[in-house]
Structure 1
Amino acid sequence: MNSYTGLTGKYLKGQKKRSLLTIFGIILSVTLLTSIGTIGMSYWGKSIRQTMRDFGDYHVSINGISGDAVSKVKNNTTVESAGVISREGYAVIKDTKEKEKKENPFAAPYRYLNVKGYDANAINMLQVQLDSGRLPKNPNEIVLSSPSLNYFSEKPKLGDTMELNLGIRKVASTGEDKKINGIGDFGWDLDEAFKAQSQKEYIIVGFMKPPTGNWSSSYIFPAITFNDNKTINNKKEYFVYVKMKSLNDIQKKSEAIMSSLQLSNAEQSSAMQLGRDHSIENVRIEYNNELLKLYGKSTYEGVNHSLILALAAVVAIIMICTIAVIYNTFHISVLERISQFGLLRCIGATPTQIRKIVMQEAALLSLIGIPIGLLTGTLFMKLLFYNIRLLTLGILNDLRMVISVPILISAGLLGLLSVFLSAIGPAKQAARVSPLEALKSNGGTKVEHITKVNKSLFVQKLFGIIGQFASRNLQRNKKRFRITAFSMIISIILFIVFSGLAQFMQQTTQVSGSLFSYSITYDGPSKRIDDTVYQHIASLDAVQHAYKFYNDQVAAIIPKDKIDPKYYEMRKDQYILAEGEGYRTSNNYLRSYGDNGLDDLQSKLTAGVINKEIMNQENGVIVQQKISMLTKEGKQLIIDQTHFKVGDRIKIRSFDRSQKGYQTVTVVGIVDNDLLSEKQDGSEVLSFITTPKVYSKIMGTDAYSSIFILANPDLSNQPIRDYLKSLNVKDAGFNYLDRVAEVAKSKNDAKTFSILLYGFIGVIFLIAFLNIVNTVSTNLILRTKEFAVLKAIGMTQYEVRKMIILEGIFYGLFAGVIGIIIGTGLDYSIHYLFAGALDTVWVIPWISIGIAFAGAMITTLVATIWPMYRLNKINIIDALRREN
């Protein structure tokens, strides 16, 4: 040995158990960092892929520009790549027959194909989803929408050749070209004529899924062909989808592009689901904010800052907890070796050399623990993702495990940083040791002068003299007590914070949309579905529930004191028509799901009860007043429009002037969501749900024009589909929507997401459990000599065991209370930071608190098992003679 620092390796080899425990603490910390980083990267990647599928892989779209502006956009210095879509024309696939027009006076004159030419970039950016076949690669190839196939005289098949007469739509009464805007172009009216302009032959290479749902009532169906758009026609309109080189200041860059095109009247908006109808007259800019916000670059700065701050807070908590876990291990080790450092000081070691010994020890242990931690974290995630693939078949199977080199490097560096930050304090403490005092002391840098140890009469009465011993041990060894308790507190904080984060994620990604399997609507002149249709549907074995849906808009007088002040501040424009002591509003609907619908709505009530007889007598209504809205800052907000309570009275009336004036309805119940939805309404509609009888009394009609169907998942749904199709064939006024696959996928996604969340919580729980076991066990093992002394002066094995268990209970009680208070506070703080982007209800996490407290108590008891087993076997004389 050439220097004092050469003792490091010898010490680590000589004290293998203590070294292993320290390495184990490092492994736990790096495993935590690796696991969280891997889950975060994997879920982030999945979110991006899913968002690209739903909203497109582009940043900005410019819709409806002339041909001469296309090259200016594509060649702009801020643009990385651009996809171009050209309007090729419309093609009639079926004329509406006179019989159909008589049965449905609102039927469009034609059913069209809306043919657009996508270049390669546009195909990739808009993520066209196929039912079968492939995407077009040549100008003579075409992909048709699957729902359009039923309207051809002969149903097309893959590989068939079809000839289309492409042309434009005109206003029949004036002969003018029909003004059409937007990528959807699905609007139509009765005053419409078609003029063919060219003829083209296509090979059918694929069938695509409908962009916004399988509505059988569509009169205009999308069709996609390939067009490299290298030759631009200045007289045509184009849609350009842009990916920017940098996402910084994306709104300013887009405005600069529009300025260069001299298009000052462009309307700006946020991208919604692809394929929607754009009912505007001017050029439109859309920002794909759903994708941009995943990069922290949405056009809403408040959303960006909120997400960044919240994620930074989560990373900071992980870092602090990681440092604390490793710090505890080093601190305990140093405290128990103070006498050794004192001996080194006596034979000439300087404080600098002592610090080097501790820091070298940290470096050697890091070289061993960090690679193992990276490996165990990766393997743990492999196991979790493997189980997800086994147990589910949903879209989250797209949750691919990302073994990210930057994440592994970051976890390793953060682990190394944590180790050295953790070792600095103990190293300085060891260097400050006074040689003579350290040789006398036991577990401190100076001799503790204990003049008084507080007695607890409560502990003595409850646990006897052994309880007093346990209590006094904690008071006598305050530093050791603080270190061990601190480790447990950190574990409890980790569990509560990340359980809360998981629940928050579950709220924000909750399966949205309606839960029905099928719906059928009648748009014919009568606006009424005959009861025989409902009875036939309800009688089908495959139908679990069928609900008649009565729905119409009503005017309502909302008392001023019943309007939510927060909502009023954001939507003052809705409350401008003062009437009586309130405001007259029009964005209200009177609804009924039939008598059986009210029975099933009972379980969703947050206040009141449903009694149909009383409702019929008192014009009773159930108010759905909670909504989901997007603020001007881009924040998703869940809020009550009004504060109605059971017993309140509201004046409402039909918009049909031939009906009665205002009638008074009585609030008998409150619900947060309607019968067929799991989330709040995003249309900012105030809904009054009632019985068919009350609906008929107020609206002056007992007609219903929709039926919602919940299918039996255990039976074939084919009889339902066959019947709905037959209705559509007999009467074009019937339109149906098939959502079976979508609902099944949503439920499966929810199940998969739950597995991911609870798997993630399981990682936190396991690491917290092992951390407590490691710290408590280390503490007890390092006190072997102390326990041997107690046994030597007459304490029995049973009494030693009881004392250790009581110490564990005291640790658990103290750490549980402190950890729960801090953890709950941090959970609320993170929730508050996320509130700038998303609004969810924060409640005290009682379940997590209960699990954390019970887990801490159980874990401390489990942690004593191995040390007590070791103490049972050890010889008192051997324990007094040797080091731990």
Structure 2
Amino acid sequence: MRSYTGLTGKYVKVQKKRSLLTIFGIILSVTLLTSIGTMGMSYWDKTVRQTIRDFGNYHVSMNNIPGDAVNKIENNTTVGSAGVASREGYAIIRESKEKEKKEDPNAAPYRYLNVKGYDAKALDMLQVKLDSGRLPTKQNEIILSASSLSYFPVKPQLGESISLNLGIRKEASTGKELQISGLGDFGWGLDEAFEAQSEQQYTVVGYMKRPSTGDWSSRYIFPAITYDDHQNIDQNKKYFVYVQMKSLDHIEEKTDNMIAALQLGHAEKDTAKQLDKDNDLKDIGIEYNNELLKLYGKSTYEGVNLSLSLAIAAVIAIVMISTIAVIYNTFHISVLERISQFGMLRCIGATPAQIRKIVLQEAALLSLIGIPIGLLMGTLFMKVLFYNISLIALGFLNDMRMVISVPILIVAALLGLLSVYFSAIGPAKLAARVSPLEALKSTGKVEQVAKVKTSHVAQKLFGIIGQFASRNLKRNKKRFRITALSMIISIVLFIVFSGLVDFMRQNTQVSGAQYSYSLSYDNLAGQMDDMVYEHIAGLDAVDHAYKFYNSQVAAIIPEDKINPEYMALNGGRYVVAEDEGYRTDNNFLTSYGDNGLEALEAKLVAGKIDKDTMNQENGVIVQQRIRLFTDDGKEKILDQTEFKVGDHIRIRDMNSHGYQTVTVVGIVNQDLLSMEYNSSQVVTFITTPKVYKQITGHDDYSRIFILANPKLSNKPITDYLQSLSEKDAGFNYNDHVTEIAQAHNDAMTLSIILYGFIGVIVVIALLNIVNTVSTNLILRTKEFAVLKAIGMTQRELKKMIILEGVFYGLFAATIGTILGTVLHYGIHALFSGAVDTAWSMPWLSIGIAFVGAVVATLLATIWPLHRLNRVNIVEALRTEN
């Protein structure tokens, strides 16, 4: 050995147990960092891919671009890739039958195909969804909407050739072409004619999936997509260009400069909408795909970006501080127990700088061992979690995949190394400050044993042993703080991340309708026959069928029942004063039938449902919670009104002049068939069919919601619904089976991820507490031997150690829950800049953390007690730990 620092390796080898405990702390910390990073990256990857499927894989779309400007956009230096789409024209599938026009007075004159030409990049960016077949790759290939197939005289088969007369739609009376700006091309007029302009031959190569949500024109205008590489741009034609930018920084500024350089005139802006939804644009329409951009932290709303960045930074900071604290504890305890050794080195000539170097070298050596193992353990932990996901899902959640990111592993290793360094620097300085003479006199203890007061409460409750346990904690305050800090950190981690889980659950609502099919009847000449409902409800493949009654009603909202926060955001809704309140017309009175009330009971947040009482008192259940976006892009979830059970509201049907009073018997946040909050900013009153008739004067319904039995084939349902639409054009049904399957997929995925995440935190927190408390007890072996030497029995010693653990747990749980709750609120406040939800005390997390801390400390005493049983008193007094 050429220098004092050569002692580092020898000490690590000789003190194997102490070194292993320190390495274990490092492994726990790096495992935590790796698990959180891997889980976050995997969930981000899933969210990005899902968002791309729902909203498209582009950053900016530009509509109504003249042909001579398309190449300029594609070749712009800021553009990475661009997809181009064009309108090819309309084609008639068949003319609407006289029977259909009679049954539906508003029927379109034709069933149309709306043919659009996409190049390969547009097909990819807009995520065209196939039901069967493949995407078109040649000029003469086409894919048709699966919904349109039944209207062809002969259903086109895959691989067959069809001839389409493409043309324009005009006003029959004036001959003027109908001007439609967007890709959706919804709507028609009764005064409408079609003018064919060219005949095109296409080969059918695929069928597009039915739209997950229907619209009022989807029965008459169906999309069709052909391939067009747009190598020959028509200068007189308008195009739709979808752009992926090279860099997402300052995306609005880059887009504005691009449009300005083209000198195309006025451009209107909007956030990105899904395919087949459009806005009327005066000239150029610019849409930013903010749903995708915000996942990259590049939303066009700077406030949202800043809020998300600060919240994520705060979470990372909490994890960093926690890992530093965990490793610091082990180093600090280790240094405290070796003060006499460092004093001896000082006596034989070691300088403070050399002492610091010894401790830091020890930290570096243990890091080289612990960090790689931590990275491996974190990765394996996630492997096990995702393997279990695949087993539970049985192929249903195959879209969720584990993403092993090299940058994440590098960052976790660097953060772990920094954590170890910052953890060791304090103990290293402490060791360097040791006075050689005092260190040798203190027999291995740097703290002076202070005189402490007797705890009369502990003595009264637990006798002399309880007093011993209490005094042990008080007399060595530094050791007590170090051990308690480790437990406090674990509790804080649990409460904070449990809060994050709850926050994500609130703001990642299961998307899509929660019903399998909906059947509507749009014939103005009559209402839906009860025989139809009875037939549907009687099918074995149907679990539940709900009649849906719905009418717009006016309501007088008392001023004191309007949420002041909502009033500040959208005071324009409440401007018509009437009878000490405000009259609003955009409210709805609905009913899902008597069986719907039974199903709705599970969603009540206040009140109760009693059909007889509701019929007697004009009882209603109020749905008043909404989701809205502020002008700066901030998402808010709040109650528009503040009605309580027992309140009275005056409402009237829009066709009536007299108000009737209804009584609030319950409150729900979402309606019966959705897990989403209402985004329409309306107040909905849900009631019984009898009250509905009393308020509106009629009891007709025009829609039936169907929940299919997942264990049986849906074919009897679809066959019957299809037969209805063929017999009577007033019937229209929408298939939500795929959407509800995806919704359940998302819900299960989110639950597994969130609970897996909590599982990581719980396991690591538990191991951290066990590690720290065990280390503390093992390092006090000599102290316990002294107590046994002066007469304390093994049973009394065991009781004292257990009481110490309980006292540790109670103290740490109290401080930890307070700090955890404060940080829980702070993280929520940071996220509120992007998504605002009501904060509530995390009572469940606090309770679990409180009990868990006490239980964990008791578990932590098991191994030290077992070890103490085998310790020889003389040997323990003679040796170092």
2:745 maps to what in 1?
748
Displacement of 1:366 in angstroms is 0.7
Q: What does the per-residue CA deviation read over 1:610-631, in whole Å, with 9 as the maximum and x for residues that have no partner? A: 4444444443332221111111
2: CA distance, partners of 1:467 / 1:645? 51
2: CA distance, partners of 1:397 / 1:841? 34
2:369 maps to what in 1?
368
1:560-709 equivalences under 5 Å are 560-656=559-655, 659-709=656-706
1:861-876 equivalences under 5 Å are 861-876=858-873
2:496 maps to what in 1?
497
AA matched with 2:507: T
2: CA distance, partners of 1:641 / 1:753? 28
1: CA distance, partners of 2:765 / 2:649? 54
**Which range moves more in the overlay, 837-846 or 867-876?**
837-846
AA matched with 2:234: N
Q: What does the per-residue CA deviation read over 1:277-328, in whole Å, with 9 as the maximum and x for residues that have no partner? A: 4344543211100001001111111111110010000000000001001100
Contact 1:184 1:278 in 2 (8 A): no
Q: What does the per-residue CA deviation read over 1:465-513, in whole Å, with 9 as the maximum and x for residues that have no partner? A: 1111111111222111111111111111111111111121122112133
Distance 1:609 1:863, change over 3 A: closer
1:232 maps to what in 2?
233
Distance 1:354 1:762, change over 3 A: same
2:516 maps to what in 1?
517
1:554 to 2:562 alignment: no
1: CA distance, partners of 2:748 / 2:409? 29
2: CA distance, partners of 1:613 / 1:449? 74
1: CA distance, partners of 2:197 / 2:680? 41
Contact 2:114 2:223 in 1 (8 A): yes
**Which range moves more in the overlay, 584-593 or 299-308?**
584-593
1:292 to 2:282 alignment: no
Displacement of 1:570 in angstroms is 1.5
Displacement of 1:223 in angstroms is 1.1
1:265 maps to what in 2?
266
2: CA distance, partners of 1:645 / 1:865? 52
Runs ≥4 in structure 1, deviation > 6 angstroms?
Answer: none
1:14 to 2:14 alignment: yes
For residue 579 of structure 1, give the secondary structure of its aligned residue in structure 2: coil
2: CA distance, partners of 1:649 / 1:757? 41
Let me know the Cα RMSD of the aligned residues. Answer: 1.8
For residue 607 of structure 1, give the secondary structure of its aligned residue in structure 2: strand
Contact 1:217 1:735 in 2 (8 A): no
2: CA distance, partners of 1:129 / 1:443? 72
2:531 maps to what in 1?
532
1:835 to 2:832 alignment: yes
1: CA distance, partners of 2:720 / 2:633? 43
2: CA distance, partners of 1:852 / 1:401? 29
1:765-776 equivalences under 5 Å are 765-776=762-773
1: CA distance, partners of 2:722 / 2:218? 11
For residue 228 of structure 1, give the secondary structure of its aligned residue in structure 2: coil
Q: What does the per-residue CA deviation read over 1:544-576, in whole Å, with 9 as the maximum and x for residues that have no partner? A: 222211112222232322221111121122223
2:430 maps to what in 1?
429
Displacement of 1:186 in angstroms is 2.7
For residue 270 of structure 2, give the secondary structure of its aligned residue in structure 1: strand
For residue 398 of structure 1, give the secondary structure of its aligned residue in structure 2: coil
For residue 207 of structure 2, give the secondary structure of its aligned residue in structure 1: strand
Distance 1:660 1:532, change over 3 A: farther
Distance 1:608 1:487, change over 3 A: closer
TM-score by length of 1: 0.97
**Which range moves more in the overlay, 364-373 or 391-400?**
391-400
AA matched with 2:835: L
1:732 to 2:733 alignment: no
Displacement of 1:267 in angstroms is 2.1
**Which range moves more in the overlay, 492-501 or 541-550?**
541-550
**Which range moves more in the overlay, 365-374 or 524-533?**
524-533
2: CA distance, partners of 1:649 / 1:773? 57
For residue 524 of structure 1, give the secondary structure of its aligned residue in structure 2: coil
Unaligned runs of 5+ in 2: none
Contact 1:335 1:443 in 2 (8 A): yes
Contact 1:520 1:724 in 2 (8 A): yes
1: CA distance, partners of 2:854 / 2:176? 81
Q: What does the per-residue CA deviation read over 1:336-376, in whole Å, with 9 as the maximum and x for residues that have no partner? A: 00000000111111111100110110111111111111111
Q: What does the per-residue CA deviation read over 1:813-857, in whole Å, with 9 as the maximum and x for residues that have no partner? A: 111111111111111111111111112232222222222122211
Distance 1:606 1:13, change over 3 A: closer
1:877 maps to what in 2?
874
Displacement of 1:809 in angstroms is 1.0
AA matched with 1:308: S
1:439 maps to what in 2?
440
2: CA distance, partners of 1:721 / 1:380? 45
Q: What does the per-residue CA deviation read over 1:746-800, in whole Å, with 9 as the maximum and x for residues that have no partner? A: 1232122211111111111111111111111111111111111111112111111
2:25 maps to what in 1?
25
1:822 maps to what in 2?
819
Contact 2:103 2:525 in 1 (8 A): no
For residue 148 of structure 2, give the secondary structure of its aligned residue in structure 1: helix
Contact 1:183 1:278 in 2 (8 A): no
Unaligned runs of 5+ in 1: none
Contact 1:212 1:276 in 2 (8 A): no
Displacement of 1:247 in angstroms is 1.4
AA matched with 2:570: R
Displacement of 1:37 in angstroms is 0.6
**Which range moves more in the overlay, 621-630 or 50-59?**
621-630
Displacement of 1:443 in angstroms is 4.6
1:178-577 equivalences under 5 Å are 178-213=178-213, 218-392=219-393, 396-445=397-446, 448=448, 450=450, 452-526=451-525, 528-577=527-576
Q: What does the per-residue CA deviation read over 1:25-72, in whole Å, with 9 as the maximum and x for residues that have no partner? A: 111111111111111111111111111110011111111222122223
1:812 to 2:809 alignment: yes
For residue 639 of structure 1, give the secondary structure of its aligned residue in structure 2: strand
2: CA distance, partners of 1:666 / 1:264? 55
For residue 135 of structure 1, give the secondary structure of its aligned residue in structure 2: coil
For residue 578 of structure 1, give the secondary structure of its aligned residue in structure 2: coil
Displacement of 1:871 in angstroms is 1.2
Distance 1:393 1:280, change over 3 A: farther
Contact 2:265 2:283 in 1 (8 A): no
2:93 maps to what in 1?
93
Distance 1:305 1:359, change over 3 A: same
For residue 397 of structure 1, give the secondary structure of its aligned residue in structure 2: coil
2: CA distance, partners of 1:95 / 1:777? 83
2: CA distance, partners of 1:619 / 1:500? 40
For residue 835 of structure 2, give the secondary structure of its aligned residue in structure 1: coil
**Which range moves more in the overlay, 335-344 or 99-108?**
99-108
1:112 to 2:112 alignment: yes
Distance 1:393 1:254, change over 3 A: farther
Displacement of 1:654 in angstroms is 3.0
Q: What does the per-residue CA deviation read over 1:719-761, in whole Å, with 9 as the maximum and x for residues that have no partner? A: 2211111110100110011212321331232122211111111
For residue 470 of structure 2, give the secondary structure of its aligned residue in structure 1: helix
For residue 678 of structure 1, give the secondary structure of its aligned residue in structure 2: coil
2: CA distance, partners of 1:338 / 1:634? 58
AA matched with 1:197: Q
2: CA distance, partners of 1:714 / 1:212? 21
